[in-house]
Structure 1
Amino acid sequence: MSKSNRREIESLIYLLEDPDPEVQTGVKQRFQELGEHAVPLLDQFRAESVKDSEKETINNIIYNITAGTVIEEFAEIIESGVHDRKQLEGALFTLCKFGNPTLRVREYKKKLDNLTAQIGSDIAYTPSINEKMQILLQYIFRDLRFRGDSSDYHNTDNAYLDRVIDRRKGLPIMLSCVVMFIARRLDLPFYGVNMPIHFMLMYQTHNQEVLIDPFDGGTIVTYNQCCYFLKKNGIEPKPEHLEKADESEILVRCIRNLIHSYAKIKDERRVDDLRKLLNMAELEG
Structure 2
Amino acid sequence: MTTKSEIESLIYLLEDPDPEVQMGVKRRFRELGEQAVPLLDQFRSESIHDSERNTINEIIYNITIGSLMEEFSMLLENGVQNSGTLEKAVLMLSRFGNPTIRIGEYERKLDQMARQIGTDIAYTPSIQEKMQILLQFVFRELRFRGDSKDYHSPENAFIDRVIDRRKGLPIMLSLVVIFIARRLNLPFYGVNMPIHFMLMYQTHNQNILIDPFDGGTIVTYDQCYYFLKKNGIEPRPEHLQKADEADILARCIRNLIHSYGKSNQDRRVRDLRELLQIIELKG
Do they fold alike, i.e. is TM over 0.5? yes
Structure 1 residues 10-29: aligned runs within 5 Å: 10-29=8-27
Structure 2 alignment gaps of length 5 or more: none
Q: What is residue 94 of structure 1 aligned with on the other side?
A: 92
Measure how far apart 1:282 and its partner are.
1.2
Residue 134 (structure 1) aligned with residue 137 (structure 2) = no
Counterpart CA distance in 2 for 1:238 and 1:84 is 25
Identity of aligned residues (%): 73
Counterpart CA distance in 1 for 2:58 and 2:78 is 29
Q: What is residue 234 of structure 1 aligned with on the other side?
A: 232
Counterpart CA distance in 1 for 2:68 and 2:13 is 27
TM-score, length of structure 2 as denominator length: 0.97
* SS across alignment from 1:211: strand
- The amino acid of 1:239's aligned partner reads P
2:28 equivalent among 12, 15, 30: 30
Counterpart CA distance in 1 for 2:198 and 2:281 is 24
Measure how far apart 1:17 and its partner are.
3.3
- The amino acid of 1:80's aligned partner reads N
Count, aligned residues = 283
- The amino acid of 2:277's aligned partner reads N
Structure 1 residues 106-125: aligned runs within 5 Å: 106-125=104-123
Q: CA RMSD in A?
A: 1.1
Counterpart CA distance in 1 for 2:160 and 2:19 is 33
Structure 1 residues 47-62: aligned runs within 5 Å: 47-62=45-60
* Cα pair 2:171 2:252 within 8 Å, conserved: yes
Structure 1 residues 74-85: aligned runs within 5 Å: 74-85=72-83
TM-score, length of structure 1 as denominator length: 0.97
- The amino acid of 1:160's aligned partner reads F
2:42 equivalent among 41, 44, 55: 44
Residue 8 (structure 1) aligned with residue 9 (structure 2) = no
Counterpart CA distance in 1 for 2:150 and 2:17 is 31
Measure how far apart 1:120 and its partner are.
1.0
* SS across alignment from 1:283: helix
Q: After superposing the two structures, state which structure 1 stretch, 20-29 or 41-50, moved more.
A: 20-29
Measure how far apart 1:52 and its partner are.
1.1
Measure how far apart 1:26 and its partner are.
2.1
1:88-115 per-residue CA deviation (whole Å, 9 max, x = no partner) reads 0000111111000011000110111111
Q: What is residue 148 of structure 1 aligned with on the other side?
A: 146
Counterpart CA distance in 2 for 1:118 and 1:265 is 38
Counterpart CA distance in 1 for 2:84 and 2:191 is 17
- The amino acid of 2:165's aligned partner reads R
Counterpart CA distance in 1 for 2:209 and 2:247 is 18
Q: What is residue 273 of structure 1 aligned with on the other side?
A: 271
Residue 170 (structure 1) aligned with residue 146 (structure 2) = no
Counterpart CA distance in 2 for 1:87 and 1:226 is 29
Counterpart CA distance in 2 for 1:165 and 1:24 is 36
Q: What is residue 243 of structure 1 aligned with on the other side?
A: 241
* Cα pair 2:145 2:213 within 8 Å, conserved: yes
2:260 equivalent among 259, 262, 273: 262
1:68 equivalent among 53, 66, 69: 66
Structure 1 alignment gaps of length 5 or more: none
* SS across alignment from 1:192: strand
Counterpart CA distance in 2 for 1:249 and 1:181 is 16
